[in-house]
Structure 1
Amino acid sequence: MTAQTPAIDFTHDPELRSWVASAGVRSDFPLQNLPFGVVAGTTGVAQHDAPRGVVRIGDAVLDLRGLAASGLLIGDAQSAAEAAAHGALNDLFALGSGPRVALRRALHYLLIEGAPRQDTVARLLTPLSEVDVLLPARIGDYTDFYVGIHHARNIGALFRPSDPLLPNYKWVPIGYHGRASSVRVSGTPITRPNGQLKATDAPVPVLEPTRRMDFELELGVWIGPGNRLGEPVGLDHAESHIVGYCLLNDWSARDVQAWEYQPLGPFLAKSFGTTISPWVITPEALAPFRIPVDRAEGDPAPLPYLDSPRHRSHGGLRVELHALIRTAQMRKDGDTPHLISRSSSRHMYWSVAQMITHHTSNGCELRPGDLLGSGTISGPTAGSEGSLMELSHGGSAPITLPNGETRTFLEDGDEVILTARAHRAGAAAIGFGECVAVVRPAIAYPTT
């Protein structure tokens, strides 16, 4: 597979607008974004509720099955629309960037102000409020990384104040294999898990609902074309395997994790649930927001397989990330969500390309629809911490909300909302939408 860098072209022109009224400059989903997703419900001219692939534009979705049957597409764009027409996007993911880019350009032509055939395309649009949004793909495997160095330092400092980073951190992109079966789309409630807890002064552990439930502010990465078992992916080819990005909340039970993680790492403290945003934000949409990859002075240079001049010049990504909370009382009172963290993907110590290259360096096979998590992306300053574990300093410093409520960790009824937006001068801003879930009470463990 050839190396590829998403190119900036006419589809990124910030002066261009869509004839879809809701896709204005304040929308997360203007003409320059055009992310993929899957919905159920009547869409466009379709008269049944089967899941189908769509593209989001403003507050509407465009039915790709109907578009594929419309005669408005040709060549690779037609092939991509046909591949995306089903109830999961894995076939589209497998095609690679060529057909995906062709479809993006065709959609841009059909949705731009003054475009021909607007009446035909308009019949394929459905308000988002009239459909159910689903997971965009069948997730075969899910791997969560730990590439946020400020998060690693903050967590490490709670246990090793004098030496928070473990010796391997600046040499190897650390990750663990998560549980794909418990990944859910935004809007699905998350149930507080039961787990083994052991207080420091307790002689034995107990099985109880976690008392330290936490969120994690992360980027998700969708894998497109895979690699064959035994064949590593080189760094300058890694981005050819990325089909898109999303927001990801890898919920954590910190007290369960503290007891179970030694010697093998995360297990039940993580596998009870992961929430992702539903829209696949393509590498093409994010092309204007690429940045160089920098290492701090004095840090070791990556091993050669994780380094190249090309990667250093453009391998980073700048997306602003936010975490908000709204308690049950806040919802009852009609209060708006409260921003508790503001961070950026530029704080990732290891890039997405480095994550993929290292993941496959032993010959591990990735497949279309696999999902990667970045790990918690915290920033270096107060208010940029991407988890309550950090924000509350391990539970010792509660945060106070505008209505006077306090939190060290999440309580039942709390709603966590993650958002993201990419913007810079000379480019149209695009967003990711929301990644949101409400914490439900634990289910009583059966006694017989």
Structure 2
Amino acid sequence: MNWEQLLSLRRQGDTHKRLRKEQDETRLGFEVDYDRIIFSAAFRSLQDKTQVIPLSKTDFVHTRLTHSLEVSVVGRSLGRIAGKKILEKHPYLKEVHGYHFNDFGAIVAAAALAHDIGNPPFGHSGEKAIGEYFKTGNGQQYRSKLTEKEYQDIIDFEGNANGLKLLTETREGVQGGLRLSFATLGAFMKYPKESLPKKPTAHIADKKFGFFQTERHFFEEVAKELGLNQTRQGKETSFSRHPLTYLVEAADDICYTIIDFEDGINLGLIPEDFALEYLIKLVKDTINTKKYNEMVYMEDRLSYLRALAISTLISDVIDVFVENEEAILDGTFGVSLLDKSKYKAQISDIIQLSVEKVYQSQEVIEKEIAGYRIISDILDVYTSALVKKIEGQASNYDSLVVKTLPAFYQRTEDLSIYQILLNTCCYVASLSDGAAVHIHNKIMGRQL
């Protein structure tokens, strides 16, 4: 892979190449990507989607929205620093093509901003709830009507694939969704493969999948424009990761490791004493102990430690990225950047503590159970009504149910069973936690 192709400014539907030297420096194309994402309805819905605690009533616990904004900030820093080093190593990118280090920051920031845009309500349990409805619930009845890959798409419903669908899906009068640059879409695609074969190798790019069958052809168009290495051909489609995807992933890993840990302390699920104990190796070279000891309030002490820890991990990630640039470009770097971090042991300890004290806390488990039931019930009502509509067997109740859907999701003309089921999954995934609860109350007759 080469950087000139990887930094493509092309957008869906373009007939001419977009040259970096012809860009308006006051509103660069990669910055337009960021703007389009942040003004989208899908991004706004993240303000009421779970990051750690479903349906949290406290105002300091992170949502998907605040998490995404923080990941984009860290991603921008990673991209800029990496970009500076890349341009030093490959000066032709600036001298011939006009790229600047800020371009790398803008690409990573935009992709990082969108990294959770396709995630369902109720956190990762929401993904599992959608999949299990079709794998073990009433949705099993549709198995015989789907191909193997179509069925795999929905039983392993994946927020990353849904994110690509949201960002690129054509609607009547709106060609190509948000029409983001191919460079940003490439950096966004953590798992550049389809749902089958499932985890064919231990390479991190094969861990999950990144597109549904409905986006397969456009995904291949983006991958080929960017010059991503094709790793499987024929009936199985997969490519190497875009190098900047590693920085997007690292920004996410840094934020959820440190900030979910901070949330756990703020919630009282983890004792504050653990903060310094677990972060000391990350902050020992930069902490001002006098300043730290003068802080009266726990929130201030935690914020200070968090800032230092994130700064340390940013520097460490850049070192790993630069040292492994060649392997990343040829597609042979098979782990995350933090897996090669010199702080890997400390990161693992922090994540393990968060799992035990936060992710598996009674409050989280109870709300995830409720989320499973809510998602299953909503899927049951809407998939049944839509499938009966396409088969000409809809009752008056089914027709009324369909009318409660947004217009885009009501349509069944010229759609296959797979497309209708997938669209319904994507509709449920688009709901915020609060909206899912509200709709569930309505369809269960608890609220008029």
Aligning the two structures, in what range does the TM-score lie when normalised by the shorter sequence? under 0.3
TM-score, normalised to structure 2, is 0.24
> What TM-score, normalized to structure 1?
0.24
Whose strand fraction is larger, Structure 1's or Structure 2's? 1
Greater share of residues in helix: 2
